[in-house]
Amino acid sequence: MFENDASLSFRLTLESPYSFKCQRCGACCNNKRLSLSPAERARLAEFFRITDEVFTREYLDPESGEVKVGKNGDCGFLGPFGCRVHPARPQVCRLFPLGILRDEEGREFFGIMPLHPDCVGLLGTDGTVEEDLKAQGVSAE
Ligand code: SF4
Ligand code: SF4
C-alpha cells in the first residue's frame, strides 16, 4: 500500500509498482471540470452515435467548452449506475488516480492524486504503472 506522503509527488515511473481497482461507485464524478481533446470528443460522439456537432450541443458547455455538469455538480455523463460512457470515457478518468507530469525532455513521471473521501477503489501494488495504462487504454492524445 502507498503511504500518504507519496500521494502528491510525481515520483513514479512506468516500471513502478502500482494498481488501482475502481469500483465505479461514481463518488468522484462530481465537481470535475472535464475538457476534451478532439480525439476524446470524436470517440464520445461515436459512442453516442451522434455527430460531433450534436455532441457538442448536447454535452458541452457553450461558454467553457467543458463537459456539462448537473445542478448538483455531477458530471453530465454520470448515470444512476455510474459512468454512462465508461468504454469511451476521457483519458483523465481512465488514468485516475494517476496524474502525469512531463518534463522538458518529454520524460513522464506519475503521481497519485488524492482520492475522494468516499472512494471504495482499491489502491495497491499488484502491477506496474505501465500495465495499468495499457489496461485502461491510455494513449497520447
Ligand atoms: S466521464 Fe464518466 S468517469 Fe469521468 S467524471 Fe464523468 S461520469 Fe465520471
Ligand atoms: S470514487 Fe473511487 S471507486 Fe468510486 S468511481 Fe471514483 S475512483 Fe472509482
pLDDT at 140: 54
Q: What pTM was computed for the model?
A: 0.86
Nearest CA to ligand 2 atom 1: 119
- Same domain for 46 and 82: yes
Q: Does residue 91 fall inside a structural domain?
A: no
Domain that holds residue 43: 29-86
Question: Does the C-beta of 69 come closer than 6 Å to ligand 1?
Answer: no
Q: Does residue 105 fall inside a structural domain?
A: yes
Q: Does residue 115 fall inside a structural domain?
A: yes
Say how many domains are in the chain.
Answer: 2
- Same domain for 82 and 38: yes
pLDDT at 2: 52
Mean pLDDT, rounded, for 100-113: 90
Nearest CA to ligand 2 atom 8: 22
pLDDT digits (tens, 9 = 90+) for 1-32: 454 444 467 889 999 999 999 998 999 999 88
Nearest CA to ligand 1 atom 5: 29
Question: Does the C-beta of 116 come closer than 6 Å to ligand 2?
Answer: yes
- Same domain for 12 and 53: no
pLDDT digits (tens, 9 = 90+) for 39-69: 999 999 999 999 999 999 999 999 999 999 9
Question: Does the C-beta of 75 come closer than 6 Å to ligand 1?
Answer: yes
**Spatial CB neighbours of 69, under 8 Å, sequence gap ≥ 6:** 31, 32, 61, 75, 76
- Same domain for 140 and 106: yes
